[in-house]
Amino acid sequence: MSETESHGKVVNATTKDLLDIDADLLSFDAACVTNIEIKIKNIADVEIPIKLDEKKLQLSPGELFSEVVTRKVSCEAEQVNFHLIGFNSFIDEIIIVSFDPPPT
């Protein structure tokens, strides 16, 4: 007779384990128009389907998505939000880009 015992722990991956996300304000002008550069890199070993606001993408392992997004916002705005969804909502994050309003 033999006996085997095993112990372990299952840990779900987080967004940071799958994607490297960077979003930077490039400009916020007096007309209250923002230009924000968003970079999302798949750092996982599998293809990841994502949706950033209304844009749908399939990111292969190691693939980088980079885009400058122009948005008109309230002149009192202090942040712009982008909704990121991936893997059938396993990834569900709000990317927040904070900034100071332009001087009037």
Per-residue pLDDT tens digits for 49-96: 999 999 999 999 999 999 999 999 998 899 999 999 998 888 999 999
pLDDT at 10: 62
In the 8-state DSSP scheme, what is residue 45?
S
- Alpha-helical regions (H) of the chain: 15-18
Asked if residue 25 is part of any domain, the answer here is yes
Average pLDDT, integer, range 28-54: 94
- Residue of 71, 84, 100 whose CA lies nearest to 22: 84
Residue (of 77, 80, 81, 82) closest to 101 by Cα position: 77
pTM of the model: 0.83
Which two three-digit tokens encode residue 92?
Answer: 């569900």
4 falls within a domain: no
Nearest to 77 by CA among 59, 102, 53, 57: 102
CATH number of the domain within which 38 lies:
2.60.40.10
Domain span at 85:
15-98
Domain assignment present for residue 1? The answer is no
> In total, how many domains does the chain have?
1
